A and B are shown apart, each in its own frame.
Chain A
Amino acid sequence: MLAGHFGLAAMVKAREPQVPLWSLMLAASLLDIVFLGTYAAGIEGFSSATGGGLGYGELHIDAPYSHSLVGALAISLLALIVAGVAWGRRNGLVIGFMVLSHWLLDVLVHRPDMPILPGNAGNLPLLGLGLWMVPWLSAFVELCLVLAGAYMYYHAAMRSAVRAERAEAKVGSAAAVAGGGYRQQAMLSSIVMFALLLGTLAANFFLGG
Chain B
Amino acid sequence: MVTIISMLLFILVLGYLDSRLRWPKPNDKTPKYVSIAERSKTLRRD
Q: Are B26 and A20 in contact (CB under 8 A)?
A: yes
Q: A-B pairs with CB below 8 Å: how many?
A: 95
The interface residues of chain B lying within 8 Å CB-to-CB of A2 are 2-3, 6
- Kindly provide the distance from the CB of A31 to the nearest chain B CB, expressed in whole angstroms: 12
> Quick one: which of B4, B6, B21, B26 contacts A87, CB cutoff 8 A?
B26
Within 8 A of A (CB), among B4-24: 4, 6-7, 9-24
- Chain A 110-124 interface mask (CB, 8 Å, partner B; 1/0): 000000000000000
Q: Determine if A33 is an interface residue (Cβ-Cβ < 8 Å).
A: yes
The interface residues of chain B lying within 8 Å CB-to-CB of A203 are 2, 6
Q: Are B11 and A185 in contact (CB under 8 A)?
A: no
Q: Which DSSP category, helix, strand, loop or mixed, fits chain B's interface?
A: helix
Interface residues on A, range: 35 or more
Task: A91 to B7: give the CA distance in the assembly, Å.
Answer: 21
Q: Determine if A53 is an interface residue (Cβ-Cβ < 8 Å).
A: no
Q: Determine if A163 is an interface residue (Cβ-Cβ < 8 Å).
A: yes
- Kindly provide the distance from the CB of A149 to the nearest chain B CB, expressed in whole angstroms: 11
Q: Which 8 A-B pairs have the closest CB atoms?
A: A22-B15, A164-B22, A87-B26, A21-B18, A25-B10, A200-B6, A18-B24, A189-B17
Excluding A2-B6, A203-B2, A207-B2, 17 further A-B contacts by CB distance (< 8 Å) are: A17-B23, A18-B23, A19-B26, A21-B15, A22-B14, A25-B11, A29-B7, A36-B3, A87-B26, A87-B27, A160-B21, A160-B22, A161-B22, A185-B21, A189-B20, A196-B14, A200-B9
22 pairs, A vs B, C-beta closer than 8 Å: A17-B23, A18-B24, A18-B25, A20-B26, A21-B18, A25-B14, A26-B11, A29-B7, A87-B27, A157-B18, A161-B22, A185-B20, A188-B17, A189-B17, A189-B20, A189-B21, A192-B17, A196-B9, A203-B2, A208-B2, A209-B2, A209-B3
Residues of B whose CB lies within 8 Å of any CB of A are 2-4, 6-7, 9-28
